Structure 1
Amino acid sequence: MEITTIGLDLAKNVFQVHGVDATGKVVVRKALRRVQMISFFTKLAPCLIGMEACGTSHHWAREQQAALFLHRTRSLLVKQRTQLINMMRGQLAEFGVDIPKGLERALTMARQIIDGEAAIDLPSYGVKMLAILCRQALATHVQIREIDRELQKLERSNEMARRLATIPGIGPIGATAFAAAVTDPAQFRSGRQFAAWLGLTPLQNSSGGKERHGRISKMGDQYLRRLLVIGATAMVRQFKMRPEKTPPQVAALLARKPVRVATVAMANKMARIVWALMARGETYRVGHMPALAA
């Protein structure tokens, strides 16, 4: 049974669902109670849904936007945590105190300051302000971890997010973000067009028959693009720690290109894989070769 179009009659408590396939044949006709709506449509493959334009229709259309709300909130909190830690580093540096690099080391230092385990010679006002920064940074970190757990639950409950999470470098955050933000992958003709929509393709500056490629355009969704670049950067760090695990094509790319250029190129490839999995309903396969290349 492949449903291509659904007509949904909205109501207060009981909703009527009428679904047809590509030939117009009726394949589902049933009544749903309000509590059954989300679970029913979550299990369906992407299709066209028509509903009347009324006040309650906005609520059901926004159900997918709730996942994006998680990501936007997390992005803001991560930025605030970074600002707080940078403030701590800058202020303590003026008093000759150096915080080791790395998020976990900075948070460990903040806990030690709050617990009185780190003896720092500061004026009384400085001690009070430092304690405020440390408590705020730790509280923000706890909130981020709570959102991460919610995103992991969302990944397990969403079929598309589970498939996207099989791609190396994506993870629960990237998988749920793409599943929520890209509701119709068919609007892109190819993975290349999808990568261009994310701003991961170089700008053209060609003339006189000579092709010149500039920096990436950075158009489209900045958050999704950043997730791909961060994922690619994490993969490069893992490859540096374990060179024997580095794929030959990645090793060749890192050998001839600067690290930042290589990570953006890897992010571009990851974007194409994301589109392919979303458009074709597949999962990631290591060593997969496209049909044309084969």
Structure 2
Amino acid sequence: MNHYVGLDVSVKETSVCIVDEAGTVCKEVKVTSHPDDLIAVLSNSGWRLVRIGLEAGPLSQWLFEGLANAGLPAVCIETRHTKAFLKATVNKTDRNDARGIAQMMRVNLFRPVHVKTVSSQQRRALLTARKLISNKARDIENDIRGLLRNFGLKVGVIGRIGFAARIRELLEGVPELQHIIEPLLEARQQLWETFTTLHRRLLSIVRDDATCRRLMTIPGVGPVVALGFVSTIDIPGRFKNSKAVGPALGLTPVLNQSGESSRVGRVSLCGDEMMRTLLYEAAQVMLTVVRKWSWLKAWAMNIAKRRGHQKAIVALARRLAVIMHRIWSDGTEFQWSKSGRPAKP
């Protein structure tokens, strides 16, 4: 008899539920959230396991890899779809959630999620750490501005390089404030030095990656956007076509249809938020910074004339995702003109 497993994962413990083909609960247990402990429970020769479902979350990639390496049929399932299924349960407990996931596996009513490779996870960790350090440094800068503003000292518009000199200039003759602000400036300097180290590491990875270099032939796409796209998509072949990348990143409108009513809303904002933000920034750069004309910029400018600048940026971000996936799949580079002649504004 076939058996199906549901795992409700938390930081410390995981609720395990095993059901048979008829939906009868065969075993329920709680174990430590570690692959070895889960393997010890599920490797019993009495179980003929068909699917083992666990919800996508912070520990899912680590647990999924451990189960898969042990030869167990693990499946990582989509979070929103799982929550919608489990809403039918009156009392939400870890035990009931594990039962619900096990039943989802039994009736094959789930949406699988792609689990990234280790290299993509490491690259994504680098991008996340780089962004985190940058945000913390800017938070300190904004806090310094707010503290000085209470004393009538206005920093004004100043770049990152000249920020510390400007602050020290304002604090001349105010030793009380100097003793307070100077440690913040030192912490800010340390953060920016760490950011520089991480950014150089990122550039070295992009320099040795042929796919990233091809993606950077697109105007507005730099090393951060290219590496972010590669680490997010991971395996381009998991999409049936390039147009499927837009909905996966939450860059397509939501359709709400019921009876005679059909309403097209804003973009869904589902999927990877970081990659969506990077594509939006790349689209902004192409429309506002890049001066060289291309067929893609001309297409976006036509949308801006009809629908407005904001919608043009979103549409361009979506098309950038499609083009980047196609370049990655075909091994080609960006063509500035479709006809082979220089594009004209």
Q: Does the pair score TM above 0.5?
A: yes
Match of 1:49 in 2: none
How far off is 1:219 after superposition?
A: 0.9
Match of 2:143 in 1: 87
SS in 2 for 1:206: strand
**1:276 counterpart (312, 326, 336):** 326
Q: Contact (CA 8 Å) 2:171, 2:177: kept in 1 or not?
A: no
Mark the structure with the bigger radius of gyration.
2
How far off is 1:123 after superposition?
A: 5.7
**1:73 counterpart (123, 129, 145):** 129
- Post-superposition Cα deviations, 1:40-99, rounded to whole Å, max 9, x if no partner, equal xxxxxxxxxxxx937xxxxxx634432222111101112112211221222222222223
How far off is 1:106 after superposition?
A: 4.7
Q: Contact (CA 8 Å) 2:300, 2:313: kept in 1 or not?
A: no
Match of 1:224 in 2: 275
Q: Contact (CA 8 Å) 1:151, 1:173: kept in 2 or not?
A: yes
How far off is 1:276 after superposition?
A: 1.0
Q: Contact (CA 8 Å) 1:99, 1:105: kept in 2 or not?
A: no
Match of 1:53 in 2: 69
**1:171 counterpart (222, 241, 247):** 222
**2:164 counterpart (97, 101, 110):** 110
TM-score w.r.t. the length of structure 2 is: 0.58
Structure 1: which 5+ residue stretches go unaligned?
1-51, 55-60, 290-294
Paired amino acid for 1:223: M
Q: Contact (CA 8 Å) 1:84, 1:137: kept in 2 or not?
A: yes
| Separation of aligned partners in 2, 1:235 and 1:93 | 36
- Post-superposition Cα deviations, 1:195-236, rounded to whole Å, max 9, x if no partner, equal 111111111123455543222111111111111111112223
| Separation of aligned partners in 1, 2:120 and 2:193 | 25
| Separation of aligned partners in 2, 1:98 and 1:134 | 16
Structure 1 vs Structure 2 CA RMSD:
2.6
| Separation of aligned partners in 2, 1:94 and 1:106 | 22
Residue 168 (structure 2) pairs with residue 152 (structure 1): no
| Separation of aligned partners in 2, 1:122 and 1:231 | 44
Paired amino acid for 1:255: K
**Matched residue pairs, number?**
224
Match of 1:12 in 2: none
Q: Contact (CA 8 Å) 2:252, 2:318: kept in 1 or not?
A: yes
CA gap 1:135/1:277 in 2 versus in 1, 3 angstroms: same
Paired amino acid for 1:176: L
| Separation of aligned partners in 2, 1:189 and 1:231 | 25
| Separation of aligned partners in 1, 2:186 and 2:308 | 39
Paired amino acid for 2:307: K
Worse-matched range after superposition: 201-210 or 152-161 = 201-210
Paired amino acid for 2:198: I
Paired amino acid for 1:225: R
> 1:173-252, aligned counterparts within 5 Å?
173-209=224-260, 211-238=262-289, 242=291, 245=293, 247-252=297-302
| Separation of aligned partners in 2, 1:138 and 1:256 | 46
